[in-house]
Every structure is written in structure tokens, then in C-alpha cells.
């Protein structure tokens, strides 16, 4: 049975209605991907978030009462909260047997559900430790006061030390294991280089159709899903391109995690080893959903993240899903994004794939 979710998004007072809607739509998509059911959603315009509860004491009480009436067991705050804020909110919700997550908690839960490889699971565990650690320290401070006050050797103080040590040790072990995966990945890249195998990294906003493109172009059988973050690890397929002189070339294509707006830096850091395959690819395919109403914004999000991870090689903009738009929309896109020199395709219907292959071989 799906969890009933109360969703609240706190936004700056000057946020446009379009931006408000796009943020809420994405949050709802995240909840759907997780497996929850949004029962109530609310916006709150607030110039400065409340120091103690982010939403403010009065608003939190209002939310709690409505959650009780609607039978909601989970409150999602569509922002990144400080440890003290999420702790205080959860303390308040205990009386109705409900709990609260912030946006990072929700994304981590989705990552956890979709992680298949050992490396992806380790990366998620590391991200969770980095996100949850400060909260545990906050709880430990409360225990310390209960155990005899600051400066004493009460039970609470001992608990703080135990939790800190456990977190540090766990983090070190995970980082060591990830370093081993990183070394293996580097060896694989060197092996490909020695064999003169070129690589193409497939990147893009989550749910843009990257996996479908990989499948159609390489005969890979990865299962594309209509969910955010359906791909967490790196999937590799082989593309054979026939040249005009009847010679051919084998190229490796890497499908990696999809990006999202306001993706927290610690999540990008924790997935850096997975994203390395994109950083070290010869070229990048930046996949865009042609039917998306927020194309320009999402292209900007992906470009910014690629800049952050220093993936600055040549890229081909691939406008996918043209089967979902009419000819007028297609012509408008061609005109608006002419400066990107994009290739327009439908991976689902195998439209434009030969043109894309030709562009790849030209750049390679």
C-alpha cells in the first residue's frame, strides 16, 4: 500500500508561478517514483525560512492537523533542511505517528530502491552518512543534556562519542571500497584506450530517454523505466558504425545517472566515480526530451552539472521523443535551438538514429 504523503514546498517570495509549478511537479514525480501518493500539496512563500522548523511553528501545527485528518503518515519538505529543523519537525509529528523527510532524504530513498550494483549501493550509503551524520550529532547533544549536562561524563556524552566513531569508521570503509572500484574502472578505461576503443557518454536530465537510446543503438537490453533515476550505475553497450568505404568502427556507449535540478553537491560527489565514465568519454550525447515544456531550463541544469564535474569535451545535443510532438513544435525547436546544432530523433520509433551515428563518427 502506498504511503499517503503531505507535500510542502517553501519558496522565495519572488518565485514565478511557472517556477512554482515546475518545482512542485518534479517533487510529485519524485514521490511517485518512490512509491508514495500525494494527498495534499502546499506552497509557502517565505523570504527567510524559520530557524527552528523551516516552515514556522504556526504553519507546522496547521500541517500536522491536516495530516491527521487526511491520514498522511509522511511529510515531505521540498527543500534541504538543517539537522535541527528536521529533528524539531519530527519531534512535533510524533504525536500523530508521522515522520518528515527533506528533499535529499526522498532522493536517497529513491536511489536506495533503484541501486543494483555494489558500487551504487556504496555510493548511496556514503551519501546517506554525509546527510544523516549531523542529525545524529544533534540527537547526541540532546542525549548529553539529558545525561547530566555539558561537560559531564554522563551516558549521553558516551553515546555521542560512540556515534561519531561509528560514522567515521563506516565512512572510511566505504571510501576505501569505492577507491577500489575507481581503480578497477581506471584499468578498464586504460584497456579500452590500448585497444583504440572510443567511448561516448550519454548524459541528460533524468527520464529524457538515455537508456532507450543506448538500447536501440547498441542492441542492449537494459529496461527503460518511466521513473526518475531509473539508472544509477553505468551501463555499457557496443555500437558498430559502418563507414562509406565499408570499413567499420566499434564504439562503446556509457549510460549514466540522470541529472535533476538542485541536485545537492554531496550527491554529485558521491556519484563522482560513476560520472567518471562521462568525464573521460571522447564525446558526450546530451539527451533532451523534446516534449518537455521546460527544455531550456533542463538543458541549463545538465550543462551546469557537466561544468561542475569538468566534463568539457565536445557534445552532441540529442532531442529525443520527437514522436510525442507535432510538426509545428518540431520546427519551433529547430529554430530556437539552432545554435546547439542538435540531432532530432525518436529512439522509440528509430527515427534519426542513422543521422546521429553519422554525427558521432564525424566527431570521433
Which DSSP string do the residues of 80-147 spell out, in sequence order?
PPPHHHHHHHHHHHGGGT-EEEEHHHHHHHHHHHH--SHHHHHHHHHHHHHHHHHHHHHHHHHHHHHT
The H or E element containing residue 157 is helix 155-194
pTM for this predicted structure: 0.74
The residue with greater pLDDT, 235 or 155, is 235
* Segment 200-216 mean pLDDT: 89
| Distance in angstroms (rounded) separating the CA atoms of residues 329 and 331 | 6
- Classified as helix, coil or strand, 204 is strand
Mind listing the pLDDT tens digit for each residue in 160-182? 677 778 788 888 898 888 888 77
The pLDDT of residue 233: 53
The proportion of the chain whose per-residue pLDDT surpasses 90, expressed as a percent, equals: 32
Q: How far is CA 104 from CA 19, 67, 81, in A?
A: 20, 21, 9
Mind listing the pLDDT tens digit for each residue in 106-139? 988 887 877 777 877 888 888 888 887 767 655 4
The pLDDT of residue 274: 63
The pLDDT of residue 22: 82
Pairing of strands 36-45, 3-11: parallel
Torsion sign over Cα 239, 244, 246, 247: negative
β-bridge mates for residue 199, sequence order: 252
- Are the C-beta atoms of 93 and 99 separated by less than 8 Å? yes
Examine the pLDDT at 311 and tell me if it is beyond 90: no
β-bridge mates for residue 6, sequence order: 40, 75
Amino acid at each position: 500500500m502506498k504511503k499517503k504523503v503531505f507535500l510542502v514546498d517553501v519558496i522565495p517570495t519572488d518565485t514565478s508561478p511557472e517556477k512554482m509549478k515546475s518545482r512542485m511537479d518534479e517533487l510529485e514525480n519524485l514521490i511517485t517514483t518512490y512509491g508514495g501518493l500525494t494527498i495534499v500539496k502546499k506552497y509557502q512563500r517565505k523570504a527567510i525560512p524559520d530557524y527552528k522548523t523551516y516552515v514556522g511553528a504556526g504553519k507546522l501545527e496547521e500541517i500536522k492537523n491536516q495530516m491527521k485528518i487526511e491520514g498522511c503518515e509522511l511529510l515531505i519538505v521540498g527543500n534541504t533542511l538543517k539537522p535541527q529543523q528536521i529533528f524539531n519537525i519530527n519531534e512535533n509529528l510524533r504525536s500523530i505517528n508521522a515522520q518528515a523527510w527533506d528533499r535529499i532524504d526522498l532522493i536517497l530513498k529513491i536511489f536506495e530502491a533503484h541501486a543494483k550494483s555494489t558500487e551504487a549501493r556504496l555510493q548511496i550509503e556514503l551519501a546517506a552518512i554525509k546527510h544523516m551524520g549531523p542529525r545524529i550529532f544533534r540527537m547526541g547533544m540532546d542525549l548529553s543534556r539529558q545525561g547530566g549536562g555539558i561537560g559531564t561524563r554522563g551516558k549521553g556524552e558516551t553515546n555521542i562519542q560512540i556515534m561519531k566513531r561509528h560514522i567515521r569508521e563506516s565512512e572510511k570503509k566505504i571510501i576505501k571500497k569505492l577507491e577500489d572500484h575507481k581503480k578497477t574502472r581506471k584499468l578498464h578505461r586504460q584497456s579500452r584506450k590500448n585497444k583504440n576503443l572510443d567511448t561516448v557518454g550519454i548524459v541528460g536530465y533524468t527520464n529524457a530517454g538515455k537508456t532507450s537510446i543506448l538500447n536501440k543503438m547498441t542492441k542492449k537490453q537494459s529496461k527503460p523505466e518511466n521513473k526518475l533515476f531509473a539508472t544509477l550505475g553505468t551501463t555499457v553497450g557496443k555500437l558498430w558504425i559502418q563507414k562509406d568505404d565499408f570499413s567499420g568502427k566499434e564504439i562503446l556507449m556509457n549510460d549514466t545517472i540522470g541529472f535533476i535540478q538542485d541536485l545537492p553537491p554531496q550527491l554529485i560527489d558521491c556519484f563522482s566515480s560513476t560520472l567518471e565514465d562521462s568525464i573521460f568519454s571522447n564525446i558526450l550525447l546530451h539527451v533532451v526530451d523534446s516534449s518537455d515544456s521546460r527544455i531550456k531550463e533542463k538543458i541549463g541544469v545538465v550543462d551546469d552539472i557537466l561544468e561542475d564535474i569538468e566534463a568539457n569535451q565536445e557534445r552532441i545535443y540529442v532531442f529525443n521523443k520527437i514522436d510525442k510532438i507535432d510538426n509545428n513544435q518540431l520546427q519551433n525547436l529547430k529554430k530556437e535551438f539552432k545554435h546547439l546544432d542538435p540531432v532530432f530523433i525518436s529512439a522509440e520509433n528509430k527515427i534519426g538514429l542513422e543521422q546521429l551515428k553519422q554525427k558521432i563518427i564525424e566527431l570521433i
